[in-house]
Amino acid sequence: MTAEGIQISEDDYPEMEAVAAIQRGLHAFNQEMGGPYDREPVTVLARDAQETVRGGLLGLTYWNWLFIDWLWLARDMRGKGIGSELLKRAEDIARRRGCTDAYTDTFSFQAPEFWVGNGYQEFGRLDHMPRGHSRIWFKKPL
């Protein structure tokens, strides 16, 4: 127990309510400090003729920014302009929602040149994450 009577514990498998309490608390604090952020998901999918998802983009819009969390294409779908089309569609959604900027992070082995080719600019890098590679942050005005 701490001086305040709070018990600190480690938990490899926390209950969903514990996770939700942390998320609610941080969201409330963020909005108190930065204003309401009206978080809305952005989902753009690439499906084949059989309706199988072959790629897609998952993100969020909030505080006038588009955050691109995930962008993935099956290997045989890469290099055909599909990724750029997914990104363009997500940026269009973000603009309609009043977003003025976009950002993402990626790894050096995940084609950072794709982001540069789509108008994004590197603004941060964490080398040796993972060892032998880098984690890279990109942004773009919309």
Asked if the structure places residue 22 within a domain, the reply is: no
The mean predicted confidence, pLDDT, of the chain is 96
Asked if the structure places residue 91 within a domain, the reply is: yes
Asked if the structure places residue 119 within a domain, the reply is: yes
Asked if the structure places residue 31 within a domain, the reply is: no
The per-residue pLDDT for 1 is 66
CA distance 44 to 53: 10
Q: What is the number of domains present in the chain?
A: 1
Reading the chain (142 residues) residue by residue, the pLDDT tens digits are 677 889 889 999 999 999 999 999 999 999 999 999 889 999 999 999 999 999 999 999 999 999 999 999 999 999 999 999 999 999 999 999 999 999 999 999 999 999 999 999 999 999 999 999 999 999 999 9
Residue range of the domain that includes 110: 37-141
CATH number of the domain encompassing residue 116? 3.40.630.30
Asked if the structure places residue 12 within a domain, the reply is: no
The per-residue pLDDT for 4 is 83
CB atoms under 10 Å from CB of 1, counted, come to 7
Asked if the structure places residue 5 within a domain, the reply is: no
Asked if the structure places residue 30 within a domain, the reply is: no
Asked if the structure places residue 77 within a domain, the reply is: yes
Contacts 24+ apart (CB under 8 A), 95-101: 95/142, 97/40, 97/61, 98/64, 99/61, 99/64, 99/65, 99/66, 99/142, 100/64, 100/65, 100/141, 100/142, 101/64, 101/65, 101/66, 101/139, 101/140, 101/141, 101/142
